[in-house]
């Protein structure tokens, strides 16, 4: 049979719990996805291929060679050019076709811009790689009464939890406060496998479709997948009346002042340094760095330079990735010396 716009979604509408009514709801829906890397790439591809009406996604990072074994939207050429993940993901998703309207943002997401970026979105999705960002998403979801899906992967498995604020538990019912720094495993210490990424992200995408099509029927429980041992466990989490977010209605992650200037990126030997929120003239900066840098390269929406033995990627919003170190002091010194 020749594929036409009329039968593109024929197989999923034949799934009785979804049906043509579900497809119609999906095509009117708008979704915000934070992160376009490992988890985010699989989630984004699933939603676009399913025909979600609008997908807004944001990612602060650039494609690295170490991303390619598990991040499905990227190719060698993206890693060779250190293409911003948001732009590389947009290119890959546009090739799929279909009705989805795509909106990509190559930017760091925090309390200063999350509300604006996610405006008009019905569901918030987690494709991030750090707990602070997930607490931020939870604050916004609870405060704005929007559902979201928490997802995390490490090693051979991970966790998924669909959340409907004021109906079931939120993330802070499960984890009231962030753990002390250095107490959680990371992809640096434990690695991560593509089958684990695919399993967790596919389940997260499935829960997102369920929240959009049948929110009342969505199972609001924590699900743990172990792709290495072939195990799936579920845990019912009670809604906690003293939860700082959905119980006491406090939102420190969303309402906090500017976050710390630096953030160490998982598995990258890279520190991100935030700017001051002022747009940078990258052409002028390139001229300024010409004498100090061993190499300066202007690459569309970013500037790359070799400074003091480190590769530095500078974005228009003043954000910079300082590669070759995990020491925040070193990264700040390079930023303040050359870019401030």
Residues annotated as part of the active site = 187
C-alpha distances out from residue 288 to 143, 242, 277, 308, 338, Å: 44, 54, 20, 15, 9
Q: In sequence order, what are the residues at sequence separation of 6 or more whose Cβ sits closer than 8 angstroms to the Cβ of residue 240?
A: 169, 173, 176, 246, 247
Two tokens, residue 290? 């010409």
Distance CA 16, CA 136 (A): 36
Distance CA 151, CA 224 (A): 10
Distance CA 185, CA 141 (A): 26
The angle that helices 38-50 and 194-213 make with each other, rounded to 10 degrees, is: 40
Cβ–Cβ < 8 Å for 131, 156 = no
Number of helices and strands in the chain (H, E): 13, 14
Q: In sequence order, what are the residues at sequence separation of 6 or more whose Cβ sits closer than 8 angstroms to the Cβ of residue 183?
A: none
Nearest to 262 by CA among 311, 183, 330: 330
* DSSP code per residue over 255-284: H-SS--SEEEETTTTEEEE---S----HHH
CA atoms within 13 A on the CB side of 267: 23
């Amino acid at each position: 049979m020749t594929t036409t716009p009329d039968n593109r979604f024929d197989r999923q509408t034949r799934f009785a719990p979804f049906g043509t009514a579900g497809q119609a709801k999906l095509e009117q829906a708008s979704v915000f996805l934070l992160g376009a890397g490992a988890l985010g790439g699989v989630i984004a591809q699933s939603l676009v291929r399913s025909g979600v009406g609008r997908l807004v996604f944001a990612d602060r990072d650039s494609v690295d060679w170490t991303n390619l074994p598990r991040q499905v939207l990227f190719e060698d050429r993206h890693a060779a050019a250190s293409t911003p993940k948001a732009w590389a993901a947009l290119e890959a998703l546009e090739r799929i076709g279909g009705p989805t309207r795509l909106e990509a943002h190559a930017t760091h997401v925090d309390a200063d811009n999350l509300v604006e970026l996610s405006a008009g979105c019905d569901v918030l999705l987690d494709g991030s790689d750090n707990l602070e960002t997930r607490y931020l998403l939870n604050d916004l979801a609870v405060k704005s009464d929007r559902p979201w899906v928490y997802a995390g992967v490490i090693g051979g498995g991970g966790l998924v939890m669909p959340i409907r604020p004021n109906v079931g538990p939120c993330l802070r019912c499960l984890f009231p406060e962030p753990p002390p720094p250095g107490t959680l495993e990371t992809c640096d210490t434990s690695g991560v496998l593509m089958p684990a990424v695919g399993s967790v992200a596919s389940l997260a995408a499935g829960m997102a479709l369920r929240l959009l099509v049948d929110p009342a029927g969505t199972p609001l429980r924590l699900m743990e997948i172990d792709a290495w041992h072939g195990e799936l466990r579920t845990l019912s989490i009670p809604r906690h009346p003293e939860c700082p977010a959905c119980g006491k209605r406090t939102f420190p992650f969303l309402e906090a002042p500017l976050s710390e200037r630096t953030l160490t990126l998982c598995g990258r030997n890279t520190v991100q340094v935030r700017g001051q929120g002022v747009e940078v003239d990258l052409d002028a900066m390139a001229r300024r760095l010409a004498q100090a840098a061993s190499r300066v390269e202007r690459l569309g929406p970013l500037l790359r330079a070799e400074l003091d033995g480190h590769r530095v990627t500078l974005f228009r919003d003043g954000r910079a990735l300082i590669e070759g170190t995990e020491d925040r002091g070193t990264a700040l010194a390079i930023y303040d010396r050359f870019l401030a």
